Structure 1
Amino acid sequence: MIYTVTFNPSLDYIVAVDDFQLGLTNRTSSELILPGGKGINVSTLLMNLGIESTALGFMAGFTGDEIVRELQEMGVKSDFIRIDEGISRINLKLKSIDGTEINGSGPAISADKVEQLMVQLDALGEGDVLFLAGSIPSSMPDDMYRRIMARLEGKGVMIVVDATKDLLLNVLEYHPFLIKPNNHELGDIFGVELKTREEVVPYGKKLQKMGARNVLISMAGEGAVLIAEDGQVFDKPAPKGHLVNAVGAGDSMVAGFMAGWMDKQDYEHAFCMGIASGSASAFSEYLATKSEIEAIYKQVRVED
């Protein structure tokens, strides 16, 4: 079974405002409300590919109820732990000003609720897949990912970690199956600037020596690189297409990679599925559909 963890899920209120004016009343030209959060994005993309997963994490208040309702309506299974106080956050994303958003804080998560999640995760075992993605709320221990991986060590769970700097470095000793830094995050770790696919390879190999089994490096318009556990290194340029919405593209990449790996246990196929899924989502209004991913996959493989 596949599980995703989203510590701080959200309702994303995605709006477009033509000719936005500060200090004036602005009216939307389009609006959309969707459940958000990196783990939820992974579960949604997997669902679009016909792969079942269960979204775990925390929810609170009427917004939490709506997140669960919308996921259920979409066909995504969830088993969120209810927080008694506060509400799950609302994130405002302004489409017409690229990259502009206002993200809520979310509820405080107590130690007993954290332990409740840990007990849920204790049920995972051989052959299960767990996605840990995104930041950790300030009310939770900042080594949460490390605690989870330590608790699951030796149980045969394949763990995917999509996190930055210390969150990522602190889990490498537990040998995550896959990590996915982008080139900027990778450069931040080692104090260098990395612009080309060739430049990221030695630094990705350093993360592998530190414990990661597979290192997938996303590079936006430059493409992506995979440093595989069996010693192979794959790199590909970005597929051609029009960037519509970069939100969720990285989550789609890790979901697509794991979908490809579980399908054939072949690194090249998994890599191409990752690129196709990430790019297809970037070229779409929301997370990519199966047909959109398949179309980009064909383009990626033709380039071989």
Structure 2
Amino acid sequence: MIYTCTFMPSVDYTTYIPTFELGELNRSNDVYYYPGGKGINVSRVVKRLGVDTIAGGFIGGFTGDYIESFLRDEGVKTDFIRTPENTRINVKIKSTEETELNGPGPDLNEQNIQSLIERIGLLTEEDWLIIAGRIPTSLPSSFLTELATHCEQNKVKLVVDTSGPALKQIMEIIKPFFIKPNVQELEELVGKTIHSKEEAIVYAKELIGNGIQHVVVSMGGEGALYVSSEETLIATVPKGKLVNSVGAGDSLVSGFIASYSQDGCAEKAFRYGVASGSATAFQSDLCKKEDVESLVSQVIISKQ
């Protein structure tokens, strides 16, 4: 089973306005309400691609109820831990420029954290655990150590899609099965400025040398790189109009894991992941299976 964990989910209120005037009354007839959070995005796309998944993490209040109901209506199973606070609401204004207003995440108490650790402890070598999104500072340092212990003992395939100090800390404790940094995040990991795809490949190989099994580096319109101990691949992205950048990276992760979990073919999974990320970028919501499959043939893979 593919499990996702989102520490700070949200209800995303997204509105499209031709012209946004700061300090003025702005009206829009085009609004959407979606459950937000990188792990939740991953679960939604994985399910749309025909693979079962369980979305977990922390939710609370009426907004948490909305997230759970929305996911169940889409066929995504849920296993959230309830918190006493309402899950945050994030406002996203799409106009000539994108503007976002994100609410604060929950304050997690010891009981919340222990409940999560206990659930992770039940996973087996048949399971995937995808930790995606920002990791709250309220988590004790011991949490990551316990996470690493459970995943190593039970041979759980750990996928990490976060950034900053949390990603570095995780990688010092446990070597994830898969990570997907963008170029800036890769620079933060290796402490170097990256000027080209060739340099990105060199530093991605360093991560592989340190024990990570699969690294995908997303490079926006320039495509993506895949590196493992066995091969290095470069992918172009399909041509299309960028409509919404939110969720594109999450969809890449979803496409890769959904495909790889079925047959273990990395090149096929990489192609499917890039197509999934592009399909989401070309529309207002997350991609669907038919959107992805229409783009797969347009993803050109070259071997290095």
Deviation at 1:219? 0.5
Structure 1 residue 139: Cα displacement: 2.6
Give TM-score scaled by structure 1 length.
0.94
Q: Distance in 1 between matches of 2:300 and 2:190?
A: 32
The 2-side partners of 1:192 and 1:140 are apart by 28
Is the 8 Å Cα contact of residues 145 and 167 (structure 1) preserved in structure 2? no
Question: Which portions of structure 1, spanning 4 or more consecutive aligned residues, are displaced by more than 6 angstroms?
Answer: none
Cα distance, 1:134 vs. partner?
1.1
Counterpart secondary structure, 1:80:
strand
CA drift of 1:168 comes to 1.7
Deviates more, 1:166-175 or 1:141-150: 141-150
What is the distance in 1 between the residues matched to 2:105 and 2:282? 29
Q: Indicate conservation of the 8 Å contact 2:135/2:162, yes or no.
A: no
The Cα shift of 1:126 comes to 1.3
CA contact (8 A) 2:233 2:301 kept: no
CA separation of 1:144 and 1:96: change in aligned 2, threshold 3 A: farther
Shift in Å at residue 163 of structure 1?
1.4
Match of 2:5 in 1: 5
Q: Distance in 1 between matches of 2:302 and 2:185?
A: 27
Partner residue in 2 for 1:62: 62
Opposite residue 75 of structure 1, the aligned amino acid is G
Tell me the CA shift for residue 303 of structure 1: 7.9
Question: Relative to 1, partners in 2 of residues 1:144 and 1:99: Cα closer, same or farther, differing over 3 Å?
Answer: farther
Instruction: Report the Cα distance in structure 1 between the residues aligned to 2:286 and 2:144, rounded to whole angstroms.
Output: 25
What SS class does the counterpart of residue 79 from structure 1 fall into?
strand
Q: How does 1:1-304 map to 2 (within 5 A)?
A: 1-84=1-84, 86-141=85-140, 144-172=143-171, 173-229=173-229, 231-300=230-299
- When structure 1 is superposed on structure 2, of 208-217 and 286-295 the one drifting more is 208-217
Instruction: Tell whether the 8 Å contact from 2:242 to 2:281 is kept in structure 1 after alignment.
Output: yes
Of 168-177 and 144-153, deviating more is 144-153
In 1, the alpha carbon distance for the partners of 2:144 and 2:228 equals: 22
Q: In the TM superposition, what is the alpha-carbon distance from 1:208 to its structure 2 partner?
A: 1.5
Counterparts of 2:295 and 2:203 in 1: how far apart (Å)? 28
1:170 aligns to what SS in structure 2? Answer: helix
Q: Aligned residue pairs: how many?
A: 302
Q: Is the 8 A contact 2:16 2:94 kept in 1?
A: yes
Deviations 1:209-241 (A, max 9, x none): 222111111000110001023x20001122211
Give me the whole-angstrom Cα distance separating, in 2, the residues matched to 1:105 and 1:40. Answer: 17
**How far is 1:98 from its partner?**
3.3
Q: How far off its partner does 1:138 sit?
A: 3.2
**TM-score when scaled to structure 2?**
0.94
Tell me if structure 1 keeps the 8 A contact 2:39–2:130: yes
CA spacing shift, 1:163–1:144, aligned 2, 3 Å: farther
What amino acid does structure 2 have at the position aligned with 1:292?
D
Percent identity of equivalent pairs: 42
The answer to which of 128-137 and 259-268 deviates more is 259-268
Q: Secondary structure at the match of 1:153?
A: helix
Counterpart CA distance in 2 for 1:155 and 1:81 is 22
RMSD over aligned Cα atoms: 1.7
How much does 1:171 deviate? Answer: 2.4
